[in-house]
Amino acid sequence: MFEYKRIALAVSLVLMTSACSEAPKENATTAAETTQTAAAETTAQDTQQTESEKANALFEDIFMQGVMRSPMFQSYLGIKQDQDKWDDISEERAQEDLALQKENLAKVMAIDESKLNEQTRISWMLMKQQLEQEIEDFKWRHHNYPVNQMFGMHSSVASLLINQHGISDVDDAEDYIARLNGLTGLFDQLGENLRLRAEKGIIAPKFVYPYVISDSKNIITGAPFDDGEASALWADFTKKVDNLDIDDSQYNELMSAAEAAMLQSVKPAFENLIAVVEEIEEQATTKDGAWKLPDGEAFYNNALKRTTTTDLTADEIHEIGLSEVARIHDEMRVIMEKVGYEGTLQEFFVYMRNNEDFIYPSTPEGRKRYMDEATAFIDSMRGRLDELFLTKPKADMIVKAVEPFREKSAGKAFYQQPSMDGTRPGIYYANLYDMAAMPTYQMEALAYHEGIPGHHMQIAIQQELEGIPSFRKFGRYTAYSEGWGLYTEFLPKEYGFYEDPYSDFGRLAMELWRAVRLVVDTGIHDKKWTREEGIDFYVTNTPNAKSDAVKMVERHIVMPSQATAYKIGMNKILELREKAKAELGDKFDIREFHDVVLENGPVPLNILEQFVNEYIQEKKNA
């Protein structure tokens, strides 16, 4: 969108030069002055470009510095340089990172912002803000739960090995084995981090620990740890090495080394971690909100600002949530009448929640049917992308069930980005552990959100952008990214999708779920609601299964503020779209608007508003 201004400037310079060459002699002085002005502007442009190149080189250095300090992030990006190592998660490393952030901020501040082109000025502003916030938030670095039912090193190491650590040759296999052996040191650091937080009174509520212990035990259950079927890691390593073209002696050597690593390193690492978790579990209480943490109110208010990229207070977000819940309830009553249901909305919720017609059986056949139909929804939307987007991702996307070792505790659905080079596709993960929590009437909206036109369009396009630094290609602003995901649940409705009224009810149910999040997140962390009060609010106000409500409230508790991003982000995108429509009238093009939103990567919502305002003005001028 910023190309128009640069092109316009270049064209104006050409026109000025042409006019000078054709001017009569009596205007020679004016023509010479004009030429000198043009030359001066060209020189200024050259200087500007030089400073911009300098800035972008710095941004790339800072980004790659972070990448090369994180072997795990390298694997997510498809870089193999340190794939025999894990991250250093020690307190010493955290202090080193802080020192580097301060050094990098000084370098960024030394850039002359006035000499930057417009796109680089945005990058400068985002990098400056990012570093300032990382430095400012260092005091909150322990205000989290490093292992919980949603995420943590205990489960992410196995997930990374299975999903990101490919084995295409013997070196890759040996790196995999080195990582297995490296778990002992990594988990020692993790145990120290957990104890440090416990000393500060930062202890996850009691409900968290059985999940963590169960997930950890699952990873060391099965061969070669016991006589059962192959464990997740053993099955993964075996499958990958079986595909190598190597002789028997190499094969046997690799399998023997992997087995030894699992028995001598992986098993004791997890057993020691479980012991630490059980030790801390004894100190845990049933208090749930961030208010219980040291300076908890200040921490939560800061978290809301970071998550929403706004200055909305907890009270304001709570009220927005209550208002949105009421609006969506009214829209649901219209659908309820359309399908001929007689009764209250809450009774309709119970009907939808318990109707077996909307739940596929918990069998291989039922799960396969769900996967096939979710894929079909995405494929159907894929065929309509030309109507909605000018820019489309090159990377492919697939649908996959969450792996058994983590399906009990993992979220309902999520998206995993493609590799940096696009050779590994994006993945929409559907969690089919509890089929009652995946009703078919919500399947369509869920597929659009996690897949196409949702996260895959946004994240894959982001990674493939040209002309912006890598930190913007791989960065995240939750309100932007999840706001886009929720917006793209609604978008297909305007183009003839959700033909089944129950599916349209499912779309509203998904939006309602995000509106309730605003109420419950602020309720738990600001208004001191209990876990049970949060669950009751979900069950009373949504048609989702109670198991959904339990998981969601438990997610709120271990990830303060995160769930507020979706509805705040969606509301802003819709607000900006309606503004563009109102001001541009017939000139409005939905494809161009989506380009404006996506072509610069994730940004804070106030910066997104600036982009849209500039697009509107440029379109009017054009």
pLDDT at 436: 87
Structure confidence at residue 89 (pLDDT):
98
pLDDT at 29: 33
Supply the pLDDT for residue 545. Answer: 83
Residue whose pair of structure tokens reads 């069998």 in the numeric block: 363
CA distance 315 to 594: 31
> Do residues 600 and 473 touch, judged by C-beta distance below 8 A?
no
Q: Where are the alpha helices (DSSP H) in 164-247?
A: 170-199, 208-219, 232-242
Burial (CB < 10 A; 0-12, 13-18, 19+), residue 617, is exposed
Q: What is the pLDDT of residue 32?
A: 37
Q: Which of 225, 92, 205 is nearest to 158 (CA)?
A: 225
Residue type, 425: P
User: What pLDDT is stored for residue 39 in this prediction?
Assistant: 45
Q: How confident is the model at residue 169, as a pLDDT?
A: 97
**Unique residue bearing structure tokens 């183009």:** 495
Going by DSSP bridges, is the β-strand pair 426-430/413-416 parallel, antiparallel, or unpaired? antiparallel
Give dist(CA 344, CA 97) in Å, integer.
56
Query: Which tokens hold the place of 136?
Result: 């400012």
Ranges in the chain, pLDDT < 50: 1-43
pLDDT in tens, 315-373: 999 999 999 999 999 999 999 999 999 999 999 999 998 899 999 999 999 999 999 99
- In whole angstroms, give the CA distance from residue 454 to residue 485: 5
The owner of tokens 């079927």 is 229
66: which strand partners? none
Q: Which pLDDT tens digit goes with each residue over 491-503?
A: 999 999 999 999 9
Closest by alpha carbon to 292, among 209, 208, 202?
A: 202
Contacts of 24 (CB under 8 A, 6+ apart): none
**Nearest CA among 553, 523, 526, 528 for reference residue 538:** 553
Using an 8 Å Cβ cutoff, are 115 and 47 in contact? yes
Instruction: Give the whole-angstrom CA distance, residue 413 versus residue 402.
Output: 8
Handedness of CA 602, 608, 612, 615 (dihedral sign): negative
For the record, the structure tokens of 354 come out as 């318990």
pLDDT at 25: 29
Q: According to the model, what pLDDT value does residue 49 have? A: 56
Domain ranges in the chain are 3-109+116-140, 153-286, 298-571
For residue 234, give both structure tokens: 């053993």
Closest CA to 474 of 104, 2, 79: 79
Q: In 3-state terms, what secondary structure has residue 476?
A: coil
Which tokens sit at 168?
């295409």
Distance separating alpha carbons of residues 248 and 266, to the nearest angstrom: 25
Predicted pLDDT at 407: 86
What is the DSSP track for 129-186?
A: HHHHHHHHGGGGTTSS-SB-SS-BHHHHHHHHHHHT---SSHHHHHHHHHHHHHHHHH
Q: Give the three-state DSSP class for 401.
A: strand
CA distances from 306 to 479, 485, 515, 607 (A): 9, 18, 19, 14
